[in-house]
């Protein structure tokens, strides 16, 4: 199997086909149309979102895993409350390293205003690098999210590839400095400073019918494919309207990476019938949104680049995995 997120076909054939669910309180569970589990508790609904971000630095893996879970809860119209951590560590890992890892978790939780509510920590001699899994727990009032219709606007908040660019700038710093000045690389390294999607989600849920999707592994192309599948619509996207920082373009070009397939935590894809209204409301919160396309009644997922027309493929492995080659 490929590195990173398994393919959609493998997910359907070998994972979803072999899961088991029972009635009880579960409203939405494991499926291709749900990004998190939803449980019914009277007038409120609990959300659970599990993530593993594979990076070479364990503290980065932990931080991005928590952020990804929190942003997914926001994208599902919920409020994150707590995070559970599961750490499987190498036998030779020293206690101070574990302490540093947990301090990183606490800093991230404090930044996101959630609690570290528990988890599991074990060592195993078969493990060579820390394996980190997090589950973020939240709640919302609504049982279901709005149904997307053809003709809705598609917007992006913030530029794509910010988190991936920051990681590449840190991991490939010496290589990149052979091409770019140190100041340029230092600026790119802090692109991951503010990746929380609270303003976007709060504005959308307060005033607009919408569906939101956190752009994560697989980049914007992967997110567009999955969002169209989940929403049950087609897409028509203008490539040149997708916002991207010049640093991301140049760093990705130098490393031979497609920035449109690079992890983009901190960017939200929004489908709404009132794109202009959403843009104006979000602008008042100090966040820019860009209209990049519309939903369609068919299942075609089209990218327009001037006169060129191409179809979005099923998500490829994230470009960040160049770090493991």
Same domain, yes or no: 133 and 188: no
Residue 224 placed within a domain: yes
Kindly state the DSSP code that residue 11 receives in the 8-state scheme. Answer: I
pLDDT tens track for 252-277: 999 999 999 999 999 999 999 999 99
Q: What pLDDT was estimated at residue 117?
A: 96
> Regarding predicted confidence, which is higher, 315 or 291?
291
Q: What pLDDT was estimated at residue 294?
A: 98
Instruction: Identify the band that residue 318 occupies on the pLDDT scale cut at 50, 70 and 90.
Output: confident
H/E element, 240:
none
The CA distance from 167 to 60, in Å, is 9
Residue 211 placed within a domain: yes
Q: What percent of the chain has pLDDT over 70?
A: 98
Backbone angles phi, psi at 111, to 5 degrees: -60, -40
Largest Cα–Cα separation, the chain: 59
Q: Angle, to 10 degrees, between the axis of helix 246-255 and the axis of helix 182-189?
A: 110
Residue 4 placed within a domain: no
Q: What pLDDT was estimated at residue 131?
A: 94
C-alpha to C-alpha distances, 102 to 95, 120, 132, nearest whole angstrom: 11, 12, 12
Mean pLDDT, residues 168-187: 94
Residue 147 placed within a domain: no
Same domain, yes or no: 232 and 319: yes
Number of compact structural domains in the chain = 2
Considering only CA atoms, give the Rg of the chain: 20
Question: Coil, helix or strand for 302?
Answer: strand
Contact between residue 282 and residue 201 where contact means Cβ atoms under 8 Å apart? no
The CA distance from 136 to 67, in Å, is 9
Q: What pLDDT was estimated at residue 85?
A: 97
Q: What pLDDT was estimated at residue 194?
A: 85
Is residue 97 over pLDDT 90?
yes
> Regarding predicted confidence, which is higher, 43 or 99?
99
Tally Cβ neighbours within 10 Å of residue 36.
Answer: 21
Give burial (CB, 10 Å; 0-12/13-18/19+) of 88: middle
Same domain, yes or no: 57 and 100: yes
pLDDT tens track for 111-151: 999 999 999 999 999 999 999 999 999 999 888 888 999 99
Domain coverage including residue 73: 18-140
Domain end among 83, 110, 140: 140
Instruction: Identify the band that residue 325 occupies on the pLDDT scale cut at 50, 70 and 90.
Output: low
Domain end among 140, 165, 187: 140
Q: What pLDDT was estimated at residue 237?
A: 98
Residue 190 placed within a domain: yes
Residue 2 placed within a domain: no
Domain end among 117, 140, 163: 140
Look up the CATH number of the domain holding residue 273.
3.90.650.10
Tally Cβ neighbours within 10 Å of residue 200.
Answer: 29
Look up the CATH number of the domain holding residue 70.
3.30.1330.10
Residue 11 placed within a domain: no
Same domain, yes or no: 43 and 126: yes
Same domain, yes or no: 48 and 185: no
The CA distance from 60 to 90, in Å, is 17
Same domain, yes or no: 179 and 314: yes
> Regarding predicted confidence, which is higher, 133 or 21?
133
Find the DSSP H helices in the chain. Answer: 8-10, 58-75, 95-112, 162-171, 173-177, 182-189, 198-207, 219-231, 246-255, 275-283
Q: What pLDDT was estimated at residue 16?
A: 81
Same domain, yes or no: 312 and 166: yes
Residue 145 placed within a domain: no
Residue burial 203-213, b: 16+ Cβ < 10 Å; e: rest: bbbeebbbbbb
Same domain, yes or no: 171 and 280: yes
Same domain, yes or no: 72 and 126: yes
Is residue 33 over pLDDT 70?
no
Strand ordering across the sheet containing 44-51: 26-28, 37-41, 44-51, 131-140, 79-90, 115-124
Same domain, yes or no: 122 and 159: no
pLDDT tens track for 212-255: 999 999 999 999 999 999 999 999 999 999 999 999 999 999 99
Structure tokens at 80: 């994150």
Same domain, yes or no: 160 and 309: yes
Q: What pLDDT was estimated at residue 286?
A: 84
C-alpha torsion 103→104→109→111, nearest 10: 110
Mean pLDDT, residues 20-42: 80
Same domain, yes or no: 180 and 110: no
Q: What is the pTM of this model?
A: 0.91
Mean pLDDT, residues 159-184: 94
Residue burial 291-314, b: 16+ Cβ < 10 Å; e: rest: bbbbbbeeeebbbeeeeeeeebee
């Amino acid at each position: 199997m490929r590195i990173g997120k398994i393919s959609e076909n493998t997910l359907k054939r070998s994972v979803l086909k072999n899961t088991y669910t029972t009635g009880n309180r579960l409203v939405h569970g494991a499926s291709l149309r749900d990004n998190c589990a939803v449980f019914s508790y009277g007038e409120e609904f609990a959300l659970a979102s599990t993530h593993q971000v594979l990076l070479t630095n364990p503290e980065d893996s932990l931080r991005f895993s928590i952020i990804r879970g929190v942003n997914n809860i926001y994208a599902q119209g919920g409020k994150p409350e707590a995070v559970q951590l599961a750490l499987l560590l190498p036998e030779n890992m020293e206690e101070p390293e574990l302490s540093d890892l947990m301090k990183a978790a606490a800093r991230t939780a404090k930044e996101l205003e959630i609690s570290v509510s528990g988890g599991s920590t074990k060592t195993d001699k078969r493990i060579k690098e820390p394996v980190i899994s997090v589950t973020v727990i939240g709640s919302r009032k609504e049982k279901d999210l709005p149904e997307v219709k053809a003709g809705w606007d598609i917007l992006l908040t913030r530029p794509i590839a910010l988190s991936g660019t920051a990681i590449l700038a840190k991991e490939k710093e010496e290589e990149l400095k052979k091409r770019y000045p140190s100041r340029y690389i230092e600026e790119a390294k802090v692109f991951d400073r503010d990746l929380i999607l609270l303003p976007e989600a709060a504005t959308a849920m307060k005033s607009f019918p919408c569906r939101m999707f956190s752009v994560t592994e697989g980049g914007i192309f992967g997110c567009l494919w999955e969002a169209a599948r989940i929403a049950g619509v087609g897409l028509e996207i203008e490539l040149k309207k997708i916002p991207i920082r010049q640093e991301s373009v140049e760093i990705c070009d130098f490393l031979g990476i497609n920035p449109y397939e690079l992890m983009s935590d901190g960017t939200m894809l929004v489908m709404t019938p009132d794109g202009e209204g959403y843009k104006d409301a979000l602008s008042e919160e100090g966040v820019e949104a860009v209209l990049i396309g519309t939903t369609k009644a068919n299942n075609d997922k089209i990218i327009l680049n001037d006169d060129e027309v191409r179809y979005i493929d099923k998500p490829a492995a994230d470009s960040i995995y160049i770090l493991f080659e």
